Amino acid sequence: MTDQVVTVNGTRMRIYAAAYTSTNNWDIEPVHLALTNSQLLNSLGGSHCCCFFILEVNNMKIVYPVCCGVDVHKKFLVATIASTDKKGITQYVTETFVTLNRGLYNFCRWLADHNCYDVCMESTGKYWIPIFNILEQSNIRTTLTHPKFVRAIKGKKTDKKDSKWIADLFKHDLVPGSFIPPPNVRELRELARYRYKLVCMRSSEKNRYQDCMTISNIGLASVLSDPFGKTATDIMKRILSSEVFSDKDIEKLIRGTAKKKTDLILESIRDNRIETDQRFKMNEVSNHLDYLEQSILKTEVELYTRIAPYMHIVSHLANQLPGVTELSATLILAEIGFDMSVFESDKHLASWAGLAPSNDQSAGKKKSVRISKAGQFIKPLLVQVALSAIRSKKQPYFATKYQKLKARRGHKKAIIAIARMMLTCIYHMVLTGEVFNPSDLETTCKPAPKKQVFSDENVFAYLSAKGYDISTLTKISSSDESSAMGSSFGNSA
C-alpha cells in the first residue's frame, strides 16, 4: 500500500498513523484516504490505541518537470530522467550509454523519446566535452556544474544514485551552472591555453639550459642581464661549436651596452668544463627553444586571425588601460568572452575569476577570507597585467592605489586587489564601450595638498631648518601675553 500525499494551502503533506500494539511496540503505517477506520486498525495490528501525525513533504518549486541527470565517466555515462507530474509525484528512468559517438547519439534519441530537453551533468575532467558537443548539436539545453555542487554522501554512492541525485537537484534548480562560452570563444580559449603551455615549456627549457651552464663552469648568467639575449646566445653557439676559441673571437660577438663588461664576460667563460653530456643537452635544448619560439609565434598569429572581428574591443582595452597590450587583451577576452551579460555584475565576474574573498564564517567568526582556486588561467594573466600597470608612469592611477594598499596589507593582497580593479574596468569597458575614467581618477593621481597644523615641535624644527637660533626663544605665559597686547593698544592710542 502506498502512502497518500495531500495538498493543504499549497503545502504537500503525508499522513501517518501510529498504534501501540500488544507487543509493547509502536506500529507506524502511512494512511491512505480510501481506508475506513476499521481497515486502518486492522492494518495496525488491531489495536485501538491509535494516533495520527502529519509529516510535511518538501515543498520546493519544480523548475524542470522533465529533466535528466548524467553521471559522466570515461567509457560510459549513466543518465536518469526525472518526470514530475502536476501532483508532484516524480518517476525515474535510468539508462547507461557508452561514450563513443554511436552511444552518444543513442543517448540523444533516448532523451527525445522521453520529451526531455534539459540535461545537467558534472564536469568530469575532459570527458564531458564530447557529450556536451553532441547535446549542443542536438539543441538540448545542457547545464554543466562543478562536481562539488552535486557530490553525494560518502558510503552511499553508486552511479545510478549519483545520476538520480543530480536529477533531483536540477529539477529544483539548485545546481549552479558553469560558464560555457559560445563555440568561437571556446576555440580562442583552447588556443590561448595552448600558448600558455608552450610558454611554460619554454621557461622550463631555459631553466635546464642555465643548469647546464652552471654545471659546465660558465658564468654568463651572473654577468649579463639576459642569459638568452643576442650576445649571450651568439657566445654560447660559438663555445658549443668548437672546444677551441680565442678572446678575439668572443669580443666580436659582444654587442651594445654589454661591451662595457667585456673583461667580465671573458672571465666568466674562461677555463670552462663542458662535458660531452652537457654539450649534447645544451644543443638539444637550444634546438627545442627555437622550435617553441616558432610554435608560440604561429599560435599568436592564429589568435589574431580568429579575433579579427572583435579587434575594436582589443584595441579599445589596449589603448585605454595601463599595462594592457593587444596580446594580453586578446588572451583575457579569450577567457571571459565578448558578451558580459552572461555575468550578473562585475562582482560575479571577479568571483568567477577567483579574485574575490571567500566566505567562511561560523558562529559569528570569520575563519578565512582567502581567494578561491578558480581562474587557473585568467588569474595569473591578470596578475601579470597588474604588475605591469603599477609600473606605468604615464597613467599612475593603479600605481598610486597599489602603494596605498601595499602599506596596509602587503604586496600579495595589494596586487590581487589591483587585478580585480582592472577586471572590473574591463567588464564595464566591454559591456558599455566606455573609456577608462574612474570616478576618483583626479583625486588619486593629483591629491589635494594636506594642510599642515603647527605645533611647538614642528615650528621649532622649521625655524631651525631655516637657520634661526631657537635657543634664545622663550615662551611667555598667557598673563604676560595679555599685558603685552594691552600695552601695545595703549601706545597706539
Q: Using one digit for the tens of pLDDT, what is the confidence trace for 254-305?
A: 988 888 988 999 998 888 888 999 999 999 999 999 999 999 999 999 999 9
CA 3 to chain centre: 48
What's the one-letter identity of residue 38? S
pLDDT band for 387, please (50, 70, 90 cuts). Answer: very high
pLDDT at residue 390, rounded to an integer: 94
Helical residues (DSSP H) of 270-325, grouped into ranges: 276-306, 311-320
**Is 440 in a helix, a strand, or coil?**
coil
CB-based burial, 352-378: b 16+ in 10 Å, e otherwise = bbbbbbeeeeeeeeeeeeebeeebeeb
Nearest residue to 356 (alpha-carbon basis) of 426, 413, 427? 413
CATH number assigned to the domain covering 66-171: 3.30.420.10
Q: Report pTM.
A: 0.77
Distance CA 24, CA 72 (A): 49
Q: Out of 238-242, 313-317, 357-361, which region has the weakest mean confidence (pLDDT)?
A: 357-361
pLDDT for 8 equals 43
Beta partners for residue 200, in sequence order: none
Alpha-helical runs (H) found in 325-449: 326-336, 346-352, 378-389, 397-409, 411-432, 441-445
Q: Which residue has the cell 557529450?
A: 131
pLDDT at site 6: 47
pLDDT at residue number 40: 46
Residue whose entry in the numeric block shows the C-alpha cell 500500500:
1
pLDDT for position 35: 47
Residue boundaries of the structural domains of the chain: 5-56, 66-171, 185-306, 311-360+369-444, 456-492
Q: pLDDT tens-digit profile of 189-234?
A: 999 999 999 999 999 999 999 999 999 999 998 899 898 999 999 9
How far apart CA 291 and CA 173 sit, in angstroms, is: 49
Cell digits for 240? Answer: 658549443
Residue 484: predicted pLDDT: 52
For 75-115, give the DSSP string: SEEEEEEEEE-TTS-EEEEEEEEESSHHHHHHHHHHHHHTT
CA 415 – CA 409 distance, rounded (Å): 10
| Whole-number CA gyration radius for the chain | 37
Q: What cell does 12 get?
A: 504537500
pLDDT at 443: 77
Q: What integer is the mean pLDDT of 353-368?
A: 85
Residue 171 carries which side chain, given as an amino acid letter? Answer: K
The answer to whether 185 and 337 have CB atoms below 8 angstroms apart is: yes
Q: What is the mean pLDDT of residues 310-330?
A: 94
What does the alpha-carbon distance between residue 162 and residue 69 come to, in Å, rounded to a whole number? 8
pLDDT band (50, 70, 90) for residue 369? confident
Contacts of 8 (CB under 8 A, 6+ apart): none
Interval 124-144 mean pLDDT: 92
Q: Average pLDDT over the chain, rounded to whole?
A: 84
Per residue in 392-444, pLDDT (tens digit) is 988 899 999 999 999 999 999 999 999 999 999 999 999 999 999 888 877 78
Q: Which residue, 301, 324, 297, is CA-closest to 313?
A: 324
Task: Determine the pLDDT at residue 378.
Answer: 94
Q: Is the pLDDT of residue 85 over 50?
A: yes
- Which run of H or E residues covers position 234? helix 230-241
What's the pLDDT tens digit per position in 18-69?
555 555 554 545 544 444 555 544 554 544 445 544 444 456 788 999 999 9
Cβ-Cβ contacts under 8 Å for 83 (sequence gap 6 or more): 65, 66, 90, 91, 92, 93, 114, 116
